[in-house]
Structure 1
Amino acid sequence: MNTSTSAATFHAMPATLPRRLLALFYDLWAVIAIVATVGYVCQRATGGQLITTAGHVETVWWYQPLQGLVLSAYFLASWLRGGQTLGMRPWRLRLVRLDGGPVRFPQAVIRLLAGAAPLLMLGLAPLFGVAAAVWGTLLLWAIWFAWALGNPRRRALHDLLAGTEVRRIA
């Protein structure tokens, strides 16, 4: 990393919540593209047997873990190689350590797991229904991000746990 990038990152202001949410919305499109691509490749690789509909929809046991692994790799690689996902680039945001340096692998993993934790609510769909599980997931994510509203450095809950912050860069 060159000196000008390092200095710009270190002196940058913490990103506002609306800017972070807009970047997250952009990343949603990347996530949809990744999920669709992995689904297409898996469907072709299984000869169309990835999803069966004998009475109800079923997927092979390895499909959802594979999707999670590929999406995790996207976020980890983005954060570790420059601190930016595709959605963060147009909004000039960068994920950094608190001292402004690049995020380390353990921090990125903690941030990923903490940020994805609300997805565990989806496992309650068989008990409470899909709608309740989805709303529960969205509510937890709202709490995760709302944390940034009361934090002086605008850090969301997953950033607090990982020792990272998202900064606006010049």
Structure 2
Amino acid sequence: MPKPVSTPTAFNQLPIAGPARRLMALVYDALIIAGLWMVYGFLAMLITSTFGSLQCHPEALDYTPCVGGPLYQLGLLAVTAGYFFWSWRAAGQTIGMRAWRMMVANNNGMQLSWYQCTIRALVAPASLACLGLGFFWGYFRQDRATWHDLASDSEVRVLPKKGKKK
């Protein structure tokens, strides 16, 4: 059962995040994903060169037999989807969203379902692939909804600044 990310009325009263803020958070997330891909690539190369019958040729800088091909790319996709799904389901925020004080939830202020995460993860790359049109679509709508917000019935809100502790 989905849990509320905050009280529904409080979440719906927060300002909606604009496309520029979302893209900046995506830059942060891209750095995290690049690091996760490096760790995955290291582990994949270690496992295939140790247990697999593939012959890597490091002296020729040819690691293609060790890491490459559809199975490796499927693993990269799984690592990327896992990062976003875990972040959206656990806290409603990725690391980039946390840095830019944003949170994603469904329109009722509840955490995203697995279905919503899947739809969001499938439509967001298409939003970027169309030269960012899916993100900039938010500038033309009063509710600032992007393609992946509309498709997944979710919204991204800006969280208030935390007060300084004395």
8 Å CA contact retained: 1:15, 1:167: yes
The question of whether the paired residues in 2 share the 8 Å contact of 1:148 and 1:155 is answered with: yes
Regions of 4+ moved over 2 Å: 5-10, 48-58
User: May I ask how many residue pairs the two structures share in their alignment?
Assistant: 150
1:9 shift after superposition = 2.4
Match of 1:82 among 79, 91, 107: 91
Q: TM-score, normalised by structure 2?
A: 0.79
Q: Distance in 2 between matches of 1:41 and 1:91?
A: 31
Note the C-alpha offset of 1:139.
5.0
Q: Which residue of 1 aligns with 2:45?
A: 43
8 Å Cα contact 1:110/1:161 also seen in 2: yes
Q: Who is 2:134 aligned against? A: 144
Which residue does the alignment assign to 1:157? 147
Give CA deviations for 1:38-89 in whole Å, capped at 9, x if unaligned. 0011011111759778999562431000110111011011111121001000
Q: For 1:73 and 1:144, how far apart are their aligned partners in 2?
A: 22
Task: Note the aligned Cα RMSD (angstroms).
Answer: 2.7
Q: Which has the larger radius of gyration?
A: 2
Percent of matched pairs sharing the same residue: 28
1:166 aligned residue (156, 162, 166): 156
The answer to whether the aligner puts 1:93 opposite 2:83 as a matched pair is no
Where does structure 2 lack aligned partners over 5 or more consecutive residues?
Answer: 161-166
Secondary structure class of the residue paired with 1:14: coil
Are 1:10 and 1:101, in contact at CA under 8 Å, matched by a contact in 2?
A: no
Give the gaps of 5 or more residues in structure 1.
119-137
1:9 alignment counterpart: 11
